[in-house]
Amino acid sequence: MKIAIIGSGGREHAFAATISKSPNVKEIFCIPGNAGTSQITTNVELDINEFDKIYKFINDNSVDLVVVGPEQPLVNGIVDYLEKLNIKVFGPNKIASQLEGSKIFTKKLCQQYNIPTANFGIFENRIDAKKFLKHTKYPNVIKADNLAAGKGVYICNNEQESFMAVEEIFDGKFGKAKNVLIEEFLKGEEMSYFIISDGSTFKAFETAQDHKRALEGDNGKNTGGMGAYSPSRLINNDLEDKILSKIIKPTLKGLSDLGTEYKGFLYAGLMIVENEPYLIEYNVRMGDPECQTILPKLKTDLVEILEACCERKLAQKDIHWVNKKSLCVVLCSKGYPDAYKKNVLINNLENFNLDKDNFVFHAGTKRGDNKIYATGGRVLNFISLSDDFLKARNEVHQCLKKLDWNGGFYRRDIGFKVID
C-alpha cells in the first residue's frame, strides 16, 4: 500500500512512524512533513489547502489511502473533495468538521441534544454583547466563532477585559467575525477523550491530559500544548459511561439527524467537574501532543484500523493497547508562544539510541545541507512509556539532557498532577 499523510507537526510524525510499522505499507508520503518524517517518508512540498495539487500528486503516484492530520483542510472540505474523485481518505467530511470549525454549530447541537456544556449566549454585534456583559458573572469566557488555532478564547475577570475581547473579535483579530460567544466559566480539570469512527460504529481511542500553558505550574500564556500524559488521571468506568451516553452518542445522533455521519478521529475536549463531564470543544482530528503520547501505546496495526474505518468495518476490528503509562514533553523554541528565532541549528539529534519505549517525534523542524534546523514554535516531542509516570518523565528528561539544545525550553513539570 501507498499512504499519504497530510500535515507537518508532531502528530503527523507520530502517524508516519506508526504507519511505517505496518507490514502492508510499501511507501509513505508526507505533505509537507518535517525533518523527522523525511527519515521515514518522502516529504512532498505542497500547500495543504491546495486540494487540486494534492489530488494530482495522489493520483499520479497511485496513493491508496490519505490520512488527514490537521483541522484546516478538513474544515475546508478536503474529504468531500477527494472522495468525489474516488480517493480513499480517512477524516470527517465538511459538514461534520463544523464540530471544530464553528463553535456555534457545536453549541447549538449541545442545546438541541441536551449535551452538558457551559451555559452560553451568542451575540451578533458589540452593543448586544456589551449589554449582556453588564449583568453577567465573572470570570467568563469569550470566544471567536471561527477556527483560530487555539487562540480566540479569552478568560475575562471583569467587564473591562470582556469589553476588550468583544472589540478585538469584532475588529477581526481572528478573521471576519459574525458572532461572538459568551460562556460561563467552568471550574474543573480538563481531559482529552478520543474516539475513532467509521460512520456507523465507533471505538474509544484512549484518553490524555494536555498542558496548555507555557510555564510551569500551569502559568503563562496558552499554547498549542506543552506536553501530555496518557491515560488521564480522571478516567474511570462511571465517567466514561457518562462521556459516551451524554456527549459522544448524542453528538453522532445529531450528525445523523442532519443527514451526515462521522468518519475519523473525534477529540472531545472536556472539563470534568466532580466526575461529571462537560464539553468545552470538539476537534475533528487527533490532538497534538496527545497523538504523540497515545500512538506509542497502540498494539494493533494502525493501517488496518484506518482501512477498516474507510470500509465501514470497524465493528470487526479490536483495538489493543500496551498497558503502560505514556508521557510526552514538548521542546519549544525560546520565546514561544510569542516571537521566536527561526532556522536555529539543532545538534546532537543523532545521539539517541531510542528503544521500543522511547520516541522522538519532530514538529517544527526542517532538514538542510544534512543538518536539522528548528523552524517552528513547538520543535520536538520526547515520549517515554513506563510502568509509572515518574519513570517515564525521568527517561524523557535524560533524553532532553543529552540533546542539550540551547535554542529551546520545556516544562519540567509535565504530569505534575499524577507525579508527587
Interface contacts to ligand AMP, rule CB under 6 A: 118, 141, 150, 153, 183, 185-186, 190, 212, 269, 280-281
What is the per-residue burial (b if ≥16 Cβ within 10 Å, else e) of 118-147?
bebbbbeeeeebeebbeeeeeebbbbbbbb
Residue 116: which residues within 8 A CB-CB, separation 6 or more? Answer: 110, 246, 247, 276, 277, 278, 279
From ligand AMP, ligand GLY, none, interface partner of 288 (C-beta below 5 to 8 A by class): ligand GLY
Binding-site member from 73, 91, 101, 287 for ligand GLY (CB under 6 A):
287
Minimum CB distance to ligand GLY smaller for 78 or for 228: 228
Minimum CB distance to ligand AMP smaller for 79 or for 186: 186
From ligand GLY, ligand AMP, none, interface partner of 153 (C-beta below 5 to 8 A by class): ligand AMP
Judged by CB under 6 A, the stretch of 52-60, 287-295, 296-304, 332-340 that binds ligand GLY is: 287-295
Q: Is 277 in the site for ligand GLY (CB under 6 A)?
A: no
Judged by CB under 6 A, the stretch of 236-244, 272-280, 281-289, 300-308 that binds ligand GLY is: 281-289
Q: Is 288 in the site for ligand GLY (CB under 6 A)?
A: yes
Q: Is 210 in the site for ligand GLY (CB under 6 A)?
A: yes
Number of residues engaging ligand GLY in binding (CB under 6 A): 7
Helix axes 302-310, 10-19, angle to 10 degrees: 100
> Minimal distance in Å, beta carbon 343 to ligand GLY?
25
165 backbone dihedrals φ, ψ, rounded to 5°: -60, -45
CA gap 338, 59 in Å, rounded: 39
The two beta strands, 371-374 and 365-368, are: antiparallel
Q: Is 283 in the site for ligand GLY (CB under 6 A)?
A: yes
Distance of CA 319 to the CA centre of its chain: 20
Where helices occur in 290-332 by DSSP H, the ranges are 290-294, 302-310
Q: Are 199 and 261 in contact (CB under 8 A)?
A: yes
Q: Are 222 and 211 in contact (CB under 8 A)?
A: no
> Minimal distance in Å, beta carbon 32 to ligand AMP?
25
Judged by CB under 6 A, the stretch of 258-266, 284-292, 364-372, 374-382 that binds ligand GLY is: 284-292
248 backbone dihedrals φ, ψ, rounded to 5°: -65, -50
DSSP-based three-state secondary structure for 168: helix
Where helices occur in 226-286 by DSSP H, the ranges are 237-242, 249-257
Stretch 221-250: interaction string toward ligand GLY, x if CB under 6 A: ----x-------------------------
Q: Are 51 and 45 in contact (CB under 8 A)?
A: no
From ligand AMP, ligand GLY, none, interface partner of 233 (C-beta below 5 to 8 A by class): none
> Minimal distance in Å, beta carbon 224 to ligand GLY?
6
Stretch 116-155: interaction string toward ligand GLY, x if CB under 6 A: ----------------------------------x-----
Q: Is 293 in the site for ligand GLY (CB under 6 A)?
A: no
Minimum CB distance to ligand AMP smaller for 36 or for 116: 116
E strands, 322-391, are 325-333, 344-346, 358-362, 365-368, 371-374, 378-386
Where helices occur in 148-263 by DSSP H, the ranges are 159-170, 237-242, 249-257
Residue nearest ligand GLY, Cβ-based: 287
Binding site for ligand GLY (CB under 6 A): 150, 210, 225, 283, 287-288, 290
